[in-house]
Amino acid sequence: MTGYLIGIDYEDPITKYRGDRILYTIKRISGKELNMDSDFLVDTYYTHYLPLPILKSKSDLNKEDMIKHSLLNMMLSSDIVLRNRNYSIANSAVSMALSVSYVQNLIEELEKIKRTSQSAEEREAAEQILNGLMKGNSGKEGNNEQKQNSQQSQNLQKMMKQVHEKALSKAEEDANSVRSMQRIVGGNGAGIGSSLNFEGDIHEVLRLARNTEIKKILEFLSGIPKLGSFTKKKTTRYSRGELFGYEEGSDLERLVPSELAMPEELFDVKLAESQLLLYQKQIKESLGPIYLLLDKSGSMDGEKILWAKAVALALYSRARRENRDFYLRFFDNIPYPLIKVIKNAKSKDVIKMIEYIGKIRGGGGTDISRSVISACEDIKDGHVKGASEVIILTDGEDKIAETTVRRSLRDSNSSLISVMMRGDNADLRRISDIYLVVYKLDQQDLLKVVEA
């Protein structure tokens, strides 16, 4: 038997790649060598990826194929799978996450039952299901099938349903985190999904998705439907740009064709008086990068730093949509290393940034002046090119060296957006181009910062 879904070419190189990739990812995550049936792994993937996967009839199967066929049948009839299909169809990263997580958790549940169950029948059923999933065990599985009585068959079905439901529920949690990560960092947007779909780094993405800190941030951000709707645009009028309206004038390059239908004498008069109907055209100008300074001092620990990290990811999402580089520097009483994610960054770079954000914990004092000056020096020294906005998130009451900070901002040609979290700083208010104060640290406050 080569597989259990109708219409799948199991010899196709891409199909084989899917199976090998799932097996490789499971090994990376679990740390175990598994001799699994690659075609079954392919089927778990296409069960989520295809809009209407169709399972082969039982009459076409050997007895040793029944366990894998039964698990796939349960999957296809599951409400969880049907619900996930709204976003798993043709989404390779989410389909891969669902497949990897499901199979990994399925095996772990079965191995746990084998080790800990007090019931010999449960241990035997778990072992039989495991044998049915592995290559090279079809003979043992087949003999067991022949010896089974009605009670043993019921035990086997009950065990399959139990482990299947647990594994699929955990897989849904992982897939939701992967989906949130895709949406937040811009991986689902038109024109950018193919360059940042996480499929090639799914083992790293799943590891991040299971990180408690990252999971909290993703859950918080996933509840903001408007998060991906705001973008800033900067345009300038240009004769060869995009059409956005009409005006009167004498620029023949932008002439509306209908004007050529008028008599020659009238055309000449309107040309001389700049009254010809013309297209208005404009081109988009590139925006400078976003540079974020994020306070990690001791007073930020807990809810504040979790909210600030969510803002950081939301601002990166905006930077990606606006085709801008993104820079992040944490600070307390000293500035920490600069993190750079360029506008066309690969998924590995984005994953590293998210991992770094997740690891940061609150601690230390607060030196706002030093952090802003370090950002300005980054810009002046060429480490950051063309930064138009420096955003600082802090709760710190700190005396600002106003004259020095103003000079640094002016010399680096940057504007300062300050976000005070449950506090106020009169010095910072005076030197900031935009000054915001947030108290609730909820989703509305986050949107207010991202859209500033």
How far apart CA 177 and CA 219 sit, in angstroms, is 8
Give dist(CA 236, CA 284) in Å, integer: 7
CA–CA dist 383, 131 (Å, integer):
56
Q: Is residue 95 part of a domain?
A: yes
pTM over 0.95: no
pLDDT at 203 over 50: yes
Mean local confidence (pLDDT), 104-126: 93
Say yes or no: 429 and 393 in one domain. yes
Evaluate if residue 291 carries a pLDDT over 70: yes
Q: What is the mean pLDDT of the chain?
A: 87
Q: Is residue 215 part of a domain?
A: no
Residues 277, 308, single domain; the answer is no
Q: What is the pLDDT of residue 138?
A: 47
* Last-in-domain residue among 285, 310, 326: 285
- Higher-pLDDT residue of 117 and 238 is 117
Of the ranges 165-169, 336-340, 384-388, 423-427, which one carries the lowest mean pLDDT score?
Answer: 384-388
Integer Cα distance of 274 and 276 in angstroms? 6
pLDDT at position 307, please?
Answer: 96
Please tell me whether residues 62 and 196 are part of one structural domain: yes
Sign of the Cα pseudo-torsion (48, 100, 228, 213, in order): positive
Residue 186 domain-assigned? Answer: yes
Query: Are residues 247 and 188 both part of a single domain?
Result: no
Per residue in 55-109, pLDDT (tens digit) is 998 877 777 788 999 999 999 999 999 998 888 999 998 999 999 999 999 999 9
Asked if residues 320 and 326 have their Cβ atoms less than 8 Å apart, the reply is yes
Do residues 274 and 305 share a domain? no
Domain span at residue 402 reads: 290-450
> Do both 95 and 111 map to the same domain?
yes
Please, is 205 exposed, middle or buried when counting C-beta atoms within 10 Å of its C-beta (0-12, 13-18, 19+)?
Answer: buried
Q: What is the DSSP string of 49-113?
A: HSSS--BPPGGG--GGGHHHHHHHHHHHT-HHHHHHHHHHTT-HHHHHHHHHHHHHHHHHHHHHH
Residue 390's alpha-carbon distances to 9, 90, 153, 190, 409, in angstroms, are: 53, 38, 66, 28, 9
Residue 222 lies in a domain: no
Rg (CA), the chain: 29
Dihedral pair phi/psi, residue 119, rounded to 5°: -95, 125
- Considering the domain architecture, whether residues 50 and 169 belong to the same structural domain is answered as yes
Final residue belonging to a domain, choices 285, 311, 345: 285
pLDDT > 80? residue 283: no
Mean pLDDT of 134-140: 57
Pair (138, 40) in one structural domain: yes
433/322 same-domain check: yes
pLDDT grade for 144, boundaries at 50, 70 and 90: very low
**Highest mean predicted confidence (pLDDT) among 150-159, 272-281, 369-378:** 369-378
Select from 228, 243, 134, 149 the least CA-distant residue to 181. Answer: 228
CATH of the domain at 418: 3.40.50.410
Classify residue 131: in a domain, yes or no. yes
Tally of domains in the chain: 3
Q: Please check whether residue 91 lies inside any domain of the structure.
A: yes
Q: Are residues 266 and 187 in the same domain?
A: no
Q: Domain check: are 37 and 178 in the same one?
A: yes
136 and 258 fall within a common domain: no
306: Cα within 13 Å, side-chain hemisphere: 16
pLDDT tens digits for range 341-379: 998 888 889 999 999 999 999 999 999 999 999 999 999
